[in-house]
């Protein structure tokens, strides 16, 4: 089993196009339900300044592929939830349809920022990944293979409980880690700094660093317990 991380600029996709036009919004495609053919209903979360969320909402609705876009959350916080119906066509199918048609599996949540969609993909044969990448490229999209690792044979060992980790993170800590990851902060040779993270989160860089450090401590502590054992949680791994 192979695991890959794909960064894709999907031209013609309402989410990718609108995100590129309004880069201050962090988009999360949380779930999808197929309705028929190339039409699908999605649950989408937007994070950012209220004015930017409203601008994203208006711009997104005007896209040719968007059939509906309805806000389902209330409040003045820096996030909002929407349901959306998007209808692609055979000349420009959704990335999810391409992943499925090549025998691949995707991670549950897709993060999008600055027009770039971040897809976690799982493949039984590496050749399927190469075929998927080639197909996405032939449709005039930009693609960067950020990671491709051999996970080996899937064992019966109990998986890490991601729910337990998330319940220990505040919403700001989770946002900091997700945003840093989406920006490529953890990649080798990354030029992303706390100023970039702070700008994306609309907070001071030092505040972004505090949220990120606490999130990293929690995640690394849980990971250490999972992979290296021990009865007591590690209180702090990063000074």
Alpha helices in 157-204 (DSSP H): 162-167, 171-183, 194-201
More confident residue, 165 or 46: 46
Q: What is the mean pLDDT of residues 164-170?
A: 71
Residue ranges of domains in the chain? 2-150, 162-228
* Statement: residue 59 has pLDDT above 90: yes
Q: What is the mean pLDDT of residues 23-29?
A: 89
* Statement: residue 102 has pLDDT above 70: yes
pLDDT, tens digit (0-9, with 9 covering 90-100), for 109-154: 788 989 999 998 998 888 999 999 999 999 999 999 988 888 765 5
Under CATH, what is the fold of the domain 162-228? Arc Repressor Mutant, subunit A (1.10.10)
Dihedral sign, Cα of residue 17, residue 70, residue 105, residue 38: negative
More confident residue, 22 or 166: 22
pLDDT for 37 equals 58
Alpha-carbon gap, residue 237 to 220, rounded angstroms: 7
* Statement: residue 35 has pLDDT above 90: no
Give the CA dihedral 158, 160, 161, 167, nearest 10 degrees. Answer: 160
* Statement: residue 159 has pLDDT above 60: no
Q: Which residues contact 113 (CB under 8 A, 6 or more apart)?
A: 19, 23, 25, 26, 27, 179, 182, 183, 200
């Amino acid at each position: 089993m192979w695991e890959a991380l794909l960064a894709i600029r999907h031209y013609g996709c309402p989410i990718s196009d609108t995100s590129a036009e309004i880069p201050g919004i962090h988009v999360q495609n949380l779930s999808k339900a197929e309705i028929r053919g190339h039409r699908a209903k999605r649950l989408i979360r937007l994070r950012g300044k209220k004015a930017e969320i409203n601008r994203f909402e208006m711009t997104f609705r005007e896209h040719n592929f968007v059939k509906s876009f309805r806000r389902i959350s209330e409040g003045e916080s820096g996030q909002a939830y929407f349901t959306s119906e998007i209808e692609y066509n055979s000349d420009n199918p959704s990335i999810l349809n391409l992943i499925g048609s090549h025998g691949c599996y995707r991670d549950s949540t897709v993060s999008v920022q600055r027009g770039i969609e971040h897809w976690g993909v799982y493949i039984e044969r590496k050749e399927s990944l190469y075929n998927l990448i080639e197909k996405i490229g032939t449709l005039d999209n930009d693609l960067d293979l950020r990671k491709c690792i051999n996970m080996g044979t899937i064992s019966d060992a109990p998986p890490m409980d991601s729910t337990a980790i998330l319940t220990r993170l505040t919403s700001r800590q989770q946002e900091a880690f997700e945003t840093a990851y989406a920006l490529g902060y953890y990649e080798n040779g990354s030029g992303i700094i706390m100023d970039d993270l702070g700008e994306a989160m609309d907070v001071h860089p030092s505040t972004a660093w505090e949220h990120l450090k606490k999130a990293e401590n929690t995640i690394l502590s849980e990971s250490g317990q999972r992979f290296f054992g021990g009865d007591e949680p590690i209180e702090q791994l990063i000074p």
